[in-house]
Structure 1
Amino acid sequence: MVDIKAYQNKIIEFYKKRNWYQLDPFIRINFLTEEVGEVSRAVRTIEIGRDRPDEKVPLNMHENLVEELGDVLDNLLIIADKYQISLEDIMESHLSKLEKRYKE
């Protein structure tokens, strides 16, 4: 199992090595939006298919979805890091919000 903090650090290092990290957060948001669109396309392909002769359907649709979700995750991690927010902080804050909002 991959440790979340170790993964975030590795992704940050990877992006910095390729000079992708320094891109402005506004630009990074555009990349995130593009990747979310690719997740949407992957889910649509799995759920209802694609009917376009000019598009190739991935051979392994599940593997494609995993890849696109990873791209979304990486962009989220980079945006969070630019604002000094750890994934753990995000998860704890969000869980607390849900627990307060949806008390059982």
Structure 2
Amino acid sequence: MNIFEYQKWITDFYKERGWYELNSFIRVNFLTEEVGEVSKAVRTLEIGIDRPNHRELSKEKQIENLKEELGDVLDNLFILADKYDIDLTEIMESHKEKLTNRFK
């Protein structure tokens, strides 16, 4: 699946469930929450969790959790871009150009 197909699919998925209608301010808050979950997943992989009630997960399960959380972040980014009719390939191309020019 390419980036365009996925953006269309996730947009339709969110619209079918009534999630797309949430305003962008709320969507950014969901994005922030998901970024926090990515942070927790990385922390678990790198230094673990030191809590008495925490169940230790295998490395494979920890990686699966990180993939899931990164997917949640991506979905929120795709929805925000769609709401403002932003082409994600344009973002990638312009950001690549910015970094290339900045760090020549």
TM range (shorter): over 0.9
The structural deviation recorded for 1:55 is 3.6
Contact 1:58 1:64 in 2 (8 A): no
1: distance between equivalents of 2:55 and 2:37? 14
- Show structure 2 runs of 5+ residues with no match: none
Count of residues in correspondence between the two structures: 102
TM-score (normalised: structure 1):
0.93
What are the Cα deviations for residues 18-61 of structure 1, in whole angstroms up to 9, with x where unaligned? Answer: 00001000000000000000000000000000011234444400
Paired position in structure 1 for 2:79:
78
Instruction: After TM superposition, list the pairs within 5 Å mapping 1:11-26 onto structure 2.
Output: 11-26=10-25
2:88 maps to amino acid: L
**Which runs of 4 or more aligned residues in structure 1 lie more than 6 Å from their structure 2 counterparts after TM superposition?**
none
**Aligned alpha-carbon RMSD (Å):** 1.1
Query: Which blocks of at least 5 consecutive residues in structure 1 are unaligned?
Result: none
Give the share of equivalent positions with the same residue, in percent: 63
CA distance in 2, matches of 1:97, 1:71: 26
CA distance in 2, matches of 1:84, 1:15: 16
